[in-house]
Structure 1
Amino acid sequence: MRVGEHFCPGVFHAVQAKDGLLIRIRVPGGLIEPNQLRAVADLSHSFAGETIEITSRANLQLRAIRNQDLDQVIESISLAGLLPSPQHDRVRNIVTSPIAGLDTEELFDPRPLVHELDRQLRAEPAFANLHPKFSFAIHGGPRRFRRDLDDISLEAASFDDSPHFYLSIGGTSSGFVVKRANAVECILAAAKMCIELALESGAPVRAKAIATISGTLEHITGALSHLLMASPVEPPSPIVNEALIGIYPTAQGGDRRSIVPSVPLGRLTPGQARYLADAANEWEGDLRLAPWRGIVLGSIPKSAVNKIVDHLHTIGLSCEGRDGFQGIAACAGNNGCEASLADVRGDAASLARRLLGHAAPSGWTVNLSGCEKQCARRHGATAELVAGPLGYTLNIEGRRVASDCSREFALDVVAALHENLLSEVAAR
């Protein structure tokens, strides 16, 4: 039985949940092949409750798997090329922009570096010791789409004609840059030092934890000095963009577009996933999972866009941004988790129905959690609903406004807030 004892699931580390076994599938950079998504759709239909979940680090999750089906699920995932290294099953968090190579503002395409980093990670047994939440990020341009601080990140630099990256460790700028040719070597050397320092200090194997220990950042950059040069300019403050919804031009020219539908609560049905995979294959496009728990259908001929968008709408994936779900996130709720005290997914869907037909205000985010643990919590949400034994605790912009309130009251308040924010925008 491949059932892991740790909370963070993998494929070989299935976790028991209320609705069955839960597994998480690594998709480095969110760069998934159409046939891989179709294989996951088939598994979801046959063994995993007809649902595919997209995570905030652009991986995939299947749940409600029966113990007797787990071996067959693992074999199918492996045959799809989504389990290339069993010992690195949970060394999976390589983050890049979901429009890498498509972004018209991008300095250069980071996808080759993502693939090379993944290849070298899997080739080195020592990296299996990284924490399951350890995250690498490689950004090729100014736009990023997640607020979380990554353990080791590289940000494209524009100060020189030759490509460089700013290096950050544990969310703190190192003050150094690395040439593109040395980028993967640098990021792997830094990760290896994190493992060594964690063993010495007893800290978790997270750069975020290690960077808080006095002198460690200087120690790491000193050991990497042969790969680094002092940054001639201050790195820009990262600007986190809102989730994309709609149709966007691409860097490939005027005849190609990216289609970005809304994926309600980050969950795809097998039929939706199959259609996306088939459209990518038919029109020689590509697919990217997105950290807003969505998906990008990229590089589609302009002539095919309307046909695809119309069909996406009929299967519940609107590209208009008015389905009410934009910005709303919820944990598994009491259907999938023993700890949850409310049907937060059902309540999230009820809220979306109230907001249907209206665009989301800028920065609009709502997080519904089934208990105080607040799994998959997004920091800085406009509104937070946290279920307790007697009802919801409701926070607006980080300030508690109600405790132990009914779902109806909480949803009424959030819907009214949404309306007020839209009215403020209209009045400007």
Structure 2
Amino acid sequence: MPQPPSAATSRDEPVIRDRGDACPGALRLHAADDGFLARVRIPGGLLGGAAARLLAEAADRLGDGHLDLTSRGNAQLRGLGAGCGGELAALLDRAGLLPAPTHERVRNIVASPLTGLDRRELPDVAPWVPALDRLLCASGAAAGLSGRFLFALDDGRGDVTSLAADVTLLAWDADRALLWTAGAREGLLVPAPHAPRAALVAAGYFLDAARAAGTRAWRVGELPPGHALTAAGLGARLAAEGVPASPEPVPEHPRAAPPGPGVVTGPGPTSALSVLAPLGRLTTAQWLRLAALTGRMRLTPWRGVVVPGLPARTAAAALAGLADAGLVTAPDDPWRSVTACTGRPGCARSHADVRADARAAVGAAVTGAARGPLAVHWSGCERRCGHPRGTAWVDLVATPQGYDLAAPGRDPLHGVPPDALATALADARRTPQNPAPAPRVPQAPYTP
């Protein structure tokens, strides 16, 4: 089985970076085997219709006609030409997606996608997203964060608390938020109106600690023991900023499942639609169909899209139309729990065309050959880019000899040929009576 992240990043063995963060962005393109790649940060996944249409225009005019959803609720364009940077930047600027070019890679904010949209009667944390984004973009120091540093804003349901964020805000009640940093057992209760500013203070605390450590840490978990962040240290910084805070243990929250596909009944006269994109990839036609429904979209960290604001009487018909467009709209769809990295031909590191192999296995799943309650992630190499977090899953890794397969509570298999995968997955995806923890992977290279 893959080794736990803690084994790979123990604070007894601090990560020492010998180079700057090369995480791709909208202005810093990444050269891939299928052309250049741009990663566009969309804080909280919150996207308006006009911006969505301009992103589709960029994908059609400059890229390969698709948009990829990432595990942080961002969007990627692939197949870009080497000389398109200026034109792409102009389109994104028109879309309002480059509010601060010097900060565009640090706007990594995930938020509970259904906050304010369902009948849970939890605090709505969506307003925290633009507030934190504005503070980040206005802070000169925040430009020093790596493109991998992550903020999570959870409305109390416990969905994005499972995403291993560096700074987490959890709505405690209508008036307070609990703030903590990665690995902490104690957090700080702060007034809800001050929550975004408190999160920025925590990020500044990390930057100062990383500078003092001299290891060029990119994330909180990479700080060595002598420079670890503490609730007391964070509390002192908050007090200096005029933010009242009181200590509170970080709760052992049950990890809520991500939004499932279907109609989400709202607290008022409107409903939302939740859909998933097979393998996290949308054609521009699918993307534009979603954008046209209400002019609002929420991209989720689970490669899905939530469309809010539909009249309840039309929601079911709209969902059926999205099913016809090839999106995942039903809980029993075999694509619901299948994810994959880019694989060949887009990634030079990959040993296989993992998406094609996944499609073949899902085709077999229609007849029941590879269905099961466990998610499965296909990786072209040992980096396992984009693997699931916070849930049990089947780990498939391509090697020159075939696929290595690991699943909770089962003996690993090595060198499984593609034509035997459907049968192997049929067994591996069934939950054993006493399942082991989810496969854990090294905290390696950033998983987009």
- Look up the match of 1:73: 88
Q: Work out which of the residue numbers 236, 256, 261 in structure 1 matches 2:270.
A: 256
1:422 is displaced (CA, Å) by: 11
Q: Tell me if 1:208 matches 2:221.
A: yes
**What letter is aligned with 2:350?**
S
2:44 aligned with 1:29: yes
2:320 corresponds to: 310
1:393 aligns with 2:439: no
State percent identity of aligned pairs: 31
Alignment partner, residue 9 of structure 2: none
Q: Secondary structure at the match of 2:345?
A: coil
Residue 238 of structure 1 deviates from its aligned partner by 4.3
Question: How big is the shift at 1:230?
Answer: 2.8
Q: Distance in 2 between matches of 1:243 and 1:157?
A: 21
Aligned length: 410
Distance in 1 (alpha carbons) for counterparts of 2:394 and 2:384: 13
How many angstroms apart in 2 are the aligned matches of 1:32 and 1:344? 30
Question: What CA deviation, in whole Å up to 9, does each residue of 1:345-365 have, x standing for no partner?
Answer: 111111222223779755x21
- 1:153 touches 1:168 (CA, 8 Å); kept in 2? yes
Which residue among 198, 207, 210 is the counterpart of 1:198? Answer: 210
Confirm whether residue 274 of structure 1 aligns to residue 291 of structure 2. Answer: no
Is 2:251 aligned against 1:240? no
* Runs (5+) with no aligned partner, structure 1: none
Unmatched 5+ stretches in structure 2: 1-18, 435-448
**Residues 320 and 215 of structure 1: CA distance in aligned 2, closer, same or farther (over 3 Å):** closer
Of 332, 335, 344 in structure 2, the residue corresponding to residue 334 of structure 1 is 344
Contact (CA 8 Å) 1:169, 1:208: kept in 2 or not?
no
Whether the aligned pair in 2 keeps the contact of 1:324 and 1:354 (CA below 8 Å) is no
Residue 224 of structure 1: aligned partner: 238
1-structure distance, mates of 2:64, 2:360:
22
Match of 1:51 in 2: 66
TM-score by length of 1: 0.89
- Hey, what's the Cα distance between the residues in 2 that align with 1:13 and 1:55? 17
Aligned-residue offset at 1:174? 2.8
RCO comparison, higher one (Cα < 8 Å, 6+):
2
Q: Over residues 145-174 of structure 1, what are the superposed CA-to-partner deviations in whole Å (9 max), with x where a residue is unaligned?
A: 56321111111113xxx6111111114243
Greater Cα shift, 127-136 or 308-317:
308-317
Which whole-Å deviations, capped at 9, do the CAs of 1:184-221 have from their partners, x for residues lacking one?
22111111111111011023142222385466313233
Counterpart of 2:355 in structure 1 is: 345
Corresponding letter in the other structure for 1:372: E
Residue identity in the other structure for 2:264: Y
- Structure 2 counterpart of 1:411: 422
Aligned to 2:5: none
Question: 100-109 or 22-31: which moved more?
Answer: 100-109
Give the one of 162, 176, 191 matched to 2:188. 176
Q: Deviations over 1:122-157 (max 9, x none)?
A: 011211100111111122232415632111111111
Corresponding residue for residue 291 of structure 1: 301
Counterpart pick for 1:356 among 349, 366, 372: 366
Deviations 1:370-397 (A, max 9, x none): 0112122235542111011111111111
User: Which residue among 194, 198, 205 is the counterpart of 1:186?
Assistant: 198
Which region of structure 1 is more displaced relative to structure 2, 138-147 or 384-393? 138-147
Whether the 8 Å contact between 1:146 and 1:291 is mirrored in structure 2 is no
Checking the alignment, whether the CA contact within 8 Å between 1:327 and 1:366 is kept in structure 2 is: yes
Distance 1:384 1:146, change over 3 A: farther
Provide the aligned C-alpha RMSD in A: 2.5
- Provide TM-score, normalisation by structure 2: 0.85
CA contact (8 A) 1:23 1:63 kept: yes
2: CA distance between counterparts of 1:356 and 1:52? 26
8 Å CA contact 2:238–2:245 kept in 1: the answer is: no
Cα shift at 1:59: 0.6
Give the superposition deviation at 1:232: 6.2
Note if contact 2:116-2:122 (Cα within 8 Å) is conserved in structure 1: no
CA distance in 2 between partners of 1:127 and 1:34 (Å): 28
- Please tell me the residue identity of whatever aligns with 1:277: A
Contact residue 327 and residue 360 of structure 1 kept, 8 A: no
Query: Is residue 276 of structure 2 the alignment partner of residue 265 of structure 1?
Result: no
Structure 1 residues 370 and 179: alpha-carbon distance in aligned structure 2, compared to 1, 3 A threshold: same
8 A contact 2:275–2:328 mirrored in 1: yes
SS at match of 2:336: coil
Residue 319 of structure 1 aligns to a residue whose secondary structure is coil
Q: 1:213 to 1:381 in 2, by over 3 A?
A: farther
Counterparts of 1:227 and 1:342, CA distance in 2:
52
Correspondent of 2:169 among 154, 174, 193: 154
- Which stretch of structure 1 is more off in the superposition, 261-270 or 139-148? 139-148
- Comparing 146-155 with 259-268, greater Cα deviation is found at 146-155
Maintained 8 Å contact 2:186/2:248: no
